[in-house]
Amino acid sequence: MTDSATDQASHVFGCLHGMVRTAALYPRMHALTVKAKQTLHDALTAYLSTHGRLVYRFLGDVLVADDRILPRESLLYRQFLAVCQNERQIGSISFIAGVEPREVDALLEAVTEGVGGEPSAWTSRKGLSHVLLGPPVQPEQGGGETTAKRAYYGSIDALRDIQATVRARSPLAVEQLGTLRVFTSTLLEQILQSPALVLRLASIKSYDEYTLYHSVNVAVISIGLGLVIGLPETLLREIAMAGMLHDVGKIAIPLEILRKPGPLDEEEWQIMRRHPVLGADLLSRLPGSNRLPMIVAFEHHLRFDLRGYPSVATGWAQHPVSRLACVADVFDAMSSRRAYKKAIPNTDVRGFVRDEAGRTFDPRLVRVLDLMLGQLEAQAPEGGLNERSDRVSRA
C-alpha cells in the first residue's frame, strides 16, 4: 500500500466512524445520518475504483488497513475498535468494488447492533457480496511474524520522525509518541503470542541507520528479558517504550561523531557521554509522559557498579529496568556491525556478559539473559537468527 493509498484508507475509516457517531445521535432516516452514509459510500467508491478491495483488520487496539498499520487511527478510534471486537464480534471489514447503498445500511446495523453470531453467516443472510465481515482474530490466526515486522518497521519510521522533529528544534507532539506507543504495543502483543519472535526481530540490523534499529532491538530484547522474569504486561509495555527511547539523547549529538567511521577520540567520547543526560532532559519536558523512559535514558550506561556514566552520587539506587536495558543495550550493540568493527557472534557476546556480571551487569539479569537465549535458540528454526533488514541500505 502506497502512502497515498494509506491516506485514502484512513479517510474511508474516518467516514465509517463518522457514520457510526452520527447514527448514535440521530435516527437512521434523519437527514444527517443519510448524509453520513452517503459520504462513506462516496469515499468507498472512490477508493475501490482504483484499488478494487480494502480490508480493515482489528488486532486488539491496532487498526490495520490491508498491509499497513494505521497508528493515528488506532489511537483515535481505539474505543470503536474495542466495541467492534468485544461487543459486536467483528474483527475485520472487507470492501470489494461495487458496494451498494443497501450494503452500507447493513454495515451500519452490524457495527451498532452486532451480528448475533458468526459474521460470515450474518453477511450471507443479508445477501451482502461487496461488504464482508470477519470474526475477531484469535492469537494463533494473527499472522504474528508479519504483523510484528510491520510494527518493527513502523517503530523505525516513528523514531525517524521524532529524530527529525528534535533535530529541527521543533517541539515533539504528543501524537508522535502516541504513534510510537501503538507500534510498541503491537510488537509486545505479537511477542507475547510467540516469544521466539524476540531473536528473529532482534536479528534485523541496519548499518546505515544503526541508532534507530538499535533502539527497536533494545525494546524487543527487553521484552524478552521481562517475559523470562515473568513481569506483567502493563510493565512490559512501559519497558518496551523505555527501550525505544533509551538513546533519544543521541539526537543532540553531532552527526559527525555518531557517524564517524572509526573509534572516537577522548574529546569525542566526552561529547558522546552526554547523551544520557540530554535524553533524560528531553523526555522530562514532554507533557504527560511516563517517567520510566526518562529514568532509563539517564541510567542505562551507569553500570551495575555505578562506574559508568554519567557520574552519580555514592549509593545511587539504579532502577531495575535501567539494569535490564543495559543488558539489552550491550547485547545488541556487540552483535551489530559498525563502521569500526564486525558483528560479534552471540556466543562471544554471552561470554563477555557473563565475565562482566557484578561489574557492568546485574548478575541476576545475566542469568536471565542466558535463560532467555537458551530457550529462544532452542525454538528457532535453522538459520532463523541470521535475518537482516531488507532496508539495510536505505538511508
Sketch the domain layout of the chain as residue ranges.
3-137, 142-379
Average predicted confidence (pLDDT) for the chain = 90
Closest CA to 293 of 329, 326, 322: 322
Mean pLDDT of 178-193: 91
Collapse the DSSP code of 129 into the 3-class scheme (helix H, G, I; strand E, B; otherwise coil) and give the result.
coil
Average pLDDT (223-243) is 96
The beta strand positions in 229-339, using DSSP E, are none
Q: Which of 339, 332, 335 lies closest to 207, judged by CA?
A: 339
Q: Residue 273: what residue type?
A: R
Cβ partners under 8 Å of residue 165, min gap 6: 171, 172, 173, 176
pLDDT band at 288 (very low <50, low <70, confident <90, very high): low
Helix (H, G, I), strand (E, B) or coil at 238: helix
Cβ-contact 241, 185 below 8 angstroms: no
pLDDT at 394 over 60: no
pLDDT recorded at residue 206: 82
| Contact in structure between 304 and 358 (CB atoms under 8 Å) | yes
Cell 557498579, residue located: 305
Helices (H), 144-274: 144-167, 174-193, 197-202, 210-229, 233-245, 255-258, 266-272
pLDDT band at 280 (very low <50, low <70, confident <90, very high): very high
Q: What top-level class would CATH report for the domain 142-379?
A: mainly alpha
Average pLDDT over residues 278-296: 88
Q: What is the pLDDT of residues 144-176, one digit of tens each?
A: 788 898 899 999 999 999 999 998 888 888 888
Percentage, residues of the chain above pLDDT 70 = 93
Which amino acid does the sequence have at 210? Y
The pLDDT of residue 270 is: 96
Please give the Cα distance from 373 to 350 (Å, whole number): 9
Examine the pLDDT at 28 and tell me if it is beyond 80: yes
Cβ–Cβ under 8 Å, residues 293 and 242: yes
Sheet holding 68-69, edge to edge: 68-69, 62-65, 53-59, 92-96, 131-134
Mean pLDDT along residues 309-325: 96
Average pLDDT over residues 126-140: 86
Phi, psi for residue 332 in degrees, rounded to 5: -70, -40
- What distance in Å separates the CA atoms of residue 13 and residue 75, rounded to the nearest whole number? 13
